[in-house]
Structure 1
Amino acid sequence: MYLKRKMDAALEAWKSDEGRKPLIVKGPRQVGKTATIRRFAAEHYRSVVEINFAEEPRYAAITSSGYSVDEVVKNISLLDPSKQFIPGQTLIFFDELQDHPDIATALKFFKQDGRFDVICSGSMLGINYRTIESNSVGYKTDVEMSSLDFEEFLWAKGYGDDAADAIFQHLVRLQPFSELEMNVYSNLFMDYCTLGGMPEVVASYIESGTFEGTLQLQRQLVADYREDIQKYAEGLDQARILNVFRHIPVQLAKENKKFQISKVSSGARFKDYRGCVEWLESAGMVNVCRCLSFPELPLKGNYDENKYKIYFADTGLFVSMLDDEASDDLRANRNLGVYKGALFESIVGEALHKAGYDLYYYKRENSTLEEDFFVRTRNNLVPVEVKSKKGTAKSMRTLITSDSYPDIQFGIKLSAGNIGSSDMLFTTPYFTTFLLKKLLRAYDEGEVALFTEE
């Protein structure tokens, strides 16, 4: 079962560009990169030459005699004479690039030669990828792919582009959703929270119409990720990286969700684990939310590197690592127990990251003032609060009304409730998170007014 992806449109746009460069599609493993590229290739090329460096390590020898197109093509043909290279009608697809990053050096020559299109795909694992980044600068295009976001999940459920457009119109018009709309979208969103966006898991759910078997698939993905850590973590203590990975759900379940290295193992020190979190982040396995030194613009560089929260890049992995009772209760009864706040924070962080935001939060020392996330418009810093239960957003009110935070003029609250707007606080349901960046862009352009006072 093929699931429609936003990467489909990105590949079409790349193909239509007459000056296109070799393309590198990066992203965590098993998010659908290979399936998406294969489908695109079959629809647009007479010949597709696919080489998987992980499954066929013998192909690492294709650069042994040089990086010119003629040398690479000659060596591929020596290993497999059935592969056809038709100028202007051939796509060469190098998969699992992280297992042979040296091939990236050849991309410059493929661009200059121009006879064949080239797409590479790789998981962001280990230090090998840094080699790729430094090769063929100016002669390649990089794009990132993640697991399905909520809009792609809606596509998988049979909804068209008009569904996201309809949701967006509610936001720009400050028009509350009907009871039917709230029920349908909220239930779909809870299914998405439970499943995550890994294509194999979502496809199983779509085909069967139930959650049966999805937990086993999720847990297998977690096992595969752990295996990747052991395979690719070079120069770092693999056990420490695995310890960090394993402790994420436990620490998210606590009221103070700041990740504490001291809780990972007895006597653990921050300096001993400095590279572990960065490794998991660069591999695309986790999203790191950094604590702002002070809630003001600019955001980049304005954070304490020793304070952060860690969320899984795909919330389905988080769900699969809950204890059996909590996982069963979530699937059967939608009961999240002690993980309720953690799950919604995680899914919002995931949605913001997939929309292109870096993640930041703020916790003032010796104070109850704390804000879950921050995004920005052209001129304003915008706090985003995730409410897992009804209640006032006290920290948000303080940030908006206090003269101490001049960059903050309004805030956004995400909850299970409907759309609302008052006192410079815009409230919207969780399931609209994937549209926040589009909404704030429209706000910047003066196309929408988030508050009736404006």
Structure 2
Amino acid sequence: MYYRRKIDDYLKSWKADSNHKPLIVKGARQIGKTESILHFARDNYENVVYLNFALEKKFMQILADGYDVESVIRNISLADPSKKFIPGKTILLFDEIQENPDIATTLKSFKIDGKYDVICSGSMLGINYRKIHSNSVGAKTDYEMYSMDFEEFLWAKGYSQEQIDSILTHMLENRPFNENELSVFKKLFLDYCVLGGMPDVIRLYIETGTFSGTLDVQEQIRLDYEEDVRKYAEGLDQAKIISVYRSIPAQLAKENKKFQFNKIAKNARSREYNGCIEWLKDAGVITECSCLQYPELPLKGNVEESKYKLYYPDTGLLVSALDEEAQDDLRINKNLGVYKGALYENFVAEAFLKQGLGLFYYKKENSSLEEDFFVRTQNNLIPVEVKSNTDRSKSLASLIQNKAYHDITFGIKLGDFNVGYANAVYTFPYFCAFKMKEYLKQNDFRDADEEIS
């Protein structure tokens, strides 16, 4: 069964644009790129030509005579005479192009020729672009894809768009959920936290109605990621890259979640790990949250490059990396234990990343003042606190009340709450994080107290 994805609508809009360029879909391994692209191609084209460079080595020499369309098509037909090319009715799908990254150099020729639509896809593309002689700048469109977000998970579970959009309506109207709504969405959210958004994991969960076997799938994906390090990390210490990747769950469990190399190995220094974090980011298997120099606008250009937090872009993979006792608590008892704060914070980081929101935090030197995330509207900088308990949010209150932080007039708190507003702080349940970008866009926040009353 095919599960609806957000890329589906993007691909339809791409095809409908008469001036569309060849498309490159990037993203980590096993997030559903190939499945979604093939589903779209088969529904929208009379003729689909699919090449997988990882599985079909006979196509590795199709550039032997150059990058022009005629030569490429001729060599594809030589390798497989069953491939047909019908001008105006054919889409070419080049999959796993990290194995043959020079394919991207042909895209300018395909754009100029205009007879065939082209979509390329693959993992590790952030790394392998460096090997391309000329990656057709200006003649291609890039699309970043991730594992399924919470909305896509709800689609897969059978929830209607009207039911899902009701979450945003509650946020915009500052209207609390009733007990039934809150109970249902909280349970779905906890299930999603444990599962993450890898399509194979979601599919197994929905088909069986249980978590049985999902951990095995998640662990295999993490092993595959580590195998990619051994396969593609050239000129870097592969063991150190893997050690960085494996250390993230434990580092997030610390009260100070700033990533520290000396937590990987005693006396380790950042210079010894040059390139490791960048490699993992380019591969799409970790994401970075930058530390602001000062909580003010603009955000970009206002970061301390030596300070950052690291997250997994799929919380389910983070959960699968925890120790066995924590796994039992999570999957059987829904008790998040010492990792509660880390998991909720990782979920929010993942939700923000998948919406295209930047990831920023703030930690004041020699002070307890620290804020988990920041988002912005056109005129406001908004601190976002992720609470794993009901303690008072001292840092959030300080940022709002201190006149020195002139870009901040209110804040947002995500936790085990209902929708509410008090003391210039909007509160939302964790599961609302996936609607944050739409909420910020549709709420002008003027005269908040008067509107809410």
Q: Find out whether 1:371 has 2:371 as its counterpart.
A: yes
The 1:453/1:173 distance shift into structure 2, 3 A limit, reads closer
The 1:17/1:46 distance shift into structure 2, 3 A limit, reads same
- Give SS of 1:93's match: strand
For 1:165, the equivalent position in structure 2 comes to 165
* CA distance in 1 between partners of 2:353 and 2:377 (Å): 16
**What is the Cα deviation at residue 443 of structure 1?**
2.2
Consecutive unaligned residues of structure 2, counting only runs of 5 or more, are none
Consecutive unaligned residues of structure 1, counting only runs of 5 or more, are none
* CA distance in 1 between partners of 2:204 and 2:148 (Å): 14
**What is the Cα deviation at residue 72 of structure 1?**
0.2
**What is the Cα deviation at residue 59 of structure 1?**
1.4
CA deviations 1:80-130 (Å, max 9, x no partner) are: 000111111111000011111101111011111111110000113563123
**What is the Cα deviation at residue 164 of structure 1?**
2.1
* CA distance in 1 between partners of 2:118 and 2:326 (Å): 46
Paired residues of 2:102 and 2:133 also in contact (CA < 8 A):
no
* CA distance in 1 between partners of 2:13 and 2:449 (Å): 36
* CA distance in 2 between partners of 1:352 and 1:128 (Å): 26
For 1:439, the equivalent position in structure 2 comes to 439
Q: How is 1:45-444 mapped onto 2 (pairs within 5 angstroms)?
A: 45-125=45-125, 127-131=127-131, 135-444=135-444
* CA distance in 2 between partners of 1:53 and 1:77 (Å): 15
* CA distance in 2 between partners of 1:24 and 1:133 (Å): 16
* CA distance in 1 between partners of 2:414 and 2:132 (Å): 39
CA deviations 1:143-163 (Å, max 9, x no partner) are: 111001110000010012112
* CA distance in 2 between partners of 1:432 and 1:88 (Å): 43
Worse overlay, 300-309 or 53-62: 53-62
- Give SS of 2:275's match: helix
* CA distance in 2 between partners of 1:370 and 1:186 (Å): 27
**What is the Cα deviation at residue 132 of structure 1?**
5.2
**What is the Cα deviation at residue 449 of structure 1?**
6.5
Alignment size in residue pairs: 452
For 2:25, the equivalent position in structure 1 comes to 25
CA deviations 1:329-384 (Å, max 9, x no partner) are: 10101001100000000000000111101211111111111100011110111100
The 1:204/1:133 distance shift into structure 2, 3 A limit, reads farther
* CA distance in 1 between partners of 2:132 and 2:96 (Å): 12
Worse overlay, 55-64 or 24-33: 55-64
* CA distance in 1 between partners of 2:207 and 2:409 (Å): 46
- Give SS of 2:139's match: coil
* CA distance in 2 between partners of 1:7 and 1:451 (Å): 38
Paired residues of 1:174 and 1:450 also in contact (CA < 8 A):
no
CA RMSD of aligned residues (A): 1.4
Worse overlay, 114-123 or 263-272: 263-272
Q: TM-score, normalised by structure 2?
A: 0.97
Q: Percent identity?
A: 58
* CA distance in 1 between partners of 2:124 and 2:169 (Å): 36
For 1:35, the equivalent position in structure 2 comes to 35
For 2:10, the equivalent position in structure 1 comes to 10
- Corresponding letter in the other structure for 2:323: D
- Give SS of 1:313's match: coil
- Corresponding letter in the other structure for 1:101: P
The 1:64/1:449 distance shift into structure 2, 3 A limit, reads farther
Worse overlay, 118-127 or 106-115: 118-127
Q: TM-score, normalised by structure 1?
A: 0.97
Paired residues of 1:151 and 1:434 also in contact (CA < 8 A):
yes
- Give SS of 1:212's match: coil
- Corresponding letter in the other structure for 1:9: D
Paired residues of 1:371 and 1:396 also in contact (CA < 8 A):
yes
* CA distance in 1 between partners of 2:403 and 2:314 (Å): 37
* CA distance in 2 between partners of 1:362 and 1:134 (Å): 39
**What is the Cα deviation at residue 133 of structure 1?**
9.8
- Corresponding letter in the other structure for 1:116: Y
- Give SS of 1:390's match: coil
**What is the Cα deviation at residue 266 of structure 1?**
2.8
- Corresponding letter in the other structure for 1:385: E
The 1:190/1:451 distance shift into structure 2, 3 A limit, reads farther
